[in-house]
Structures are given as structure tokens and as C-alpha cells.
Amino acid sequence: MSDDSSKCLFDITGSLAVVTGAARGVGLAAASALAQQGASVLMVDVLGEELKTSCSALRAAGRKVTALQASVTDNGDLTRLAEAAAARQAVSVVVNCAGIMRRTDIDTMTSQDLQDLWEVNVAGSVAVTQLFLPQMMEQGYGKIINVGSLGSVIGLERRTAYATTKGAITQYTVSLASEVGPYGVRANVIAPGYVDTDMAGPYIWGERDRTERLLERIPLRRFATPADLDGAFMFLASAASDYITGQVLLIDGGWTAN
């Protein structure tokens, strides 16, 4: 395969991508990666100031991005998101990265803990997907990338509610892929291991003994950076992955290999 052919496989120039949770961390990495490959990216996050700063930085680098402060759990905001996208063009790629974390012991976890995480991590992702799924099915093409975690496939101590939502996202995505595949829509999960972000940073670096235990468990002996996920987002958003759907791509430095 020639270099030009390889570049074409990953080129998504002219596409419109919606990325939630795009103000920082993994969501920002997704927005940056897709914009780098030529997509126009609508960056969505409830964190208005951080979103504005991130969007401005990408624009300064020559990327085609716009920002929309919105919550994936607010019906009015979802309507604004749909309208903002419709004012541009049909959406080809959706990345559901908006999520929250809460650590509690199993015996003190409350139904409210589970509900709070469920509303953002699961219901929010489903709601955003449903905004754009009909047009993807009508146009006969679309890429839905949901962000899971190690908790999609293994247990996570003191993060039972979080892992429950990430397991649900995996099953939702696999079921979605089965149902919408005949319409040309692909749905996959990116499941990162420990990524050094604002959300995970305090945990992975908070105690020296814990940091060392975690790193010893990872064959590559380091935590991921958000940029380590760039290739996966580029791949799953592009024609290079057109025959891949209903899959969970673990990006964990080898954690689950042990």
C-alpha cells in the first residue's frame, strides 16, 4: 500500500464529528485527533471556560473546531446540540466521552451514587447517540465511538457504580452495532486503562505505594497519556475501520494481558 493510500484510509476531511466531554483529558484528545485528520469537530462539554480555552488552542493550531457548552443530561442542551450540528452538516462521527467518576466502598455506595453516574455515563451517551443515529442510518454511514474503561471488562475496587456504567456502555454498544450495522453505521468502544488526566491523576499519583503497585501491574510500566489514544480515535472514525463494529478496543498498556 502506498503512503498516499494509507493517508486516505485515515483521512476524514469534510466530515463533521461531535465529541462530548471535549474540554479536557480523553475527550480533548479525541477532538484534537479527529481535527488533525481533517474533520470539523463540534466540541461539547459542561465545563464552559475550559472548553473555550481548549477550543481556542486547537483553532490556533489550524484545526476546524467549534465549542458548545452543554450538558448531556439536559434536554434543552441536547436540543441546542442537535440544532448546532444541523446548522453545519450531517454528522458522520460521534464520540461519547462525557463521564464522571465516584469512588465509594461497596457497603456505602448509595442508589444516588449509581443514579448520578448512570445519568451521565450511560443515559447521556445514549441520548447523544440517538440525536444523530437517524440521519446516520438515512445516509447509510456513520461511526459511533463510546468511551469505556478497564471497568468495562474487569472489576474496579471502590468504583463499583462507575464500573457498572462502563459495563453497560459496552453492552449498549455491542447491541447497537448489531441493530444498526445493516444501515452502514458502526459502533465500537475504546476502553482505556489508567490515563493521566484530571479525573484519574489524583488517584494514580496520590499515594506512592499505590502508584508503584499500579505501574508494576502494567507491562509497559507507565500510565497512558491522552495522546496515547489518538491513533485509536483516528482509526475507528475513519474508513480504515469500516469492517469493524461491535468491538471493545482495550488500550491499557497490557494490564489485561496479565
Residues 186-196 have pLDDT tens digits of 999 999 999 99
pLDDT of res. 1 = 47
pLDDT in tens, 212-229: 999 999 999 999 999 999
Distance CA 153, CA 163 (A): 8
CB-side exposure of 49: number of CA atoms within 13 Å? Answer: 0
CA distance 185 to 182: 7
Domain total in the chain = 1
As given in the structure block, the three cell numbers for residue 100 are 464522571
pLDDT of residue 7: 64
- 183 catalytic, yes or no? no
pLDDT tens per residue, range 71-95: 999 999 999 999 999 999 999 999 9
Residue 4 has pLDDT above 60, yes or no: no
Q: Which CATH number characterizes residue 159's domain?
A: 3.40.50.720
**Range 239-248 average pLDDT:** 98
Looking at residue 153, its pLDDT comes to 85
User: Listing from the earlier edge strand, what are the strands of the sheet with 248-251?
Assistant: 65-69, 40-45, 16-20, 93-96, 142-147, 185-192, 248-251
Higher pLDDT, 125 or 158: 125
* pTM given for the model: 0.94
CB 122 within 8 A of CB 149: no
Name the residue among 25, 55, 20, 65 with its Cα closest to residue 227: 25
What the block records as the C-alpha cell of 149 is: 474503561
Alpha-carbon distance of 85 to 116, in angstroms, equals 27
The confidence score (pLDDT) of residue 176 equals 98
**Parent domain of 172:** 3-257
Which residue in the list 162, 172, 183, 243 is annotated as catalytic?
162
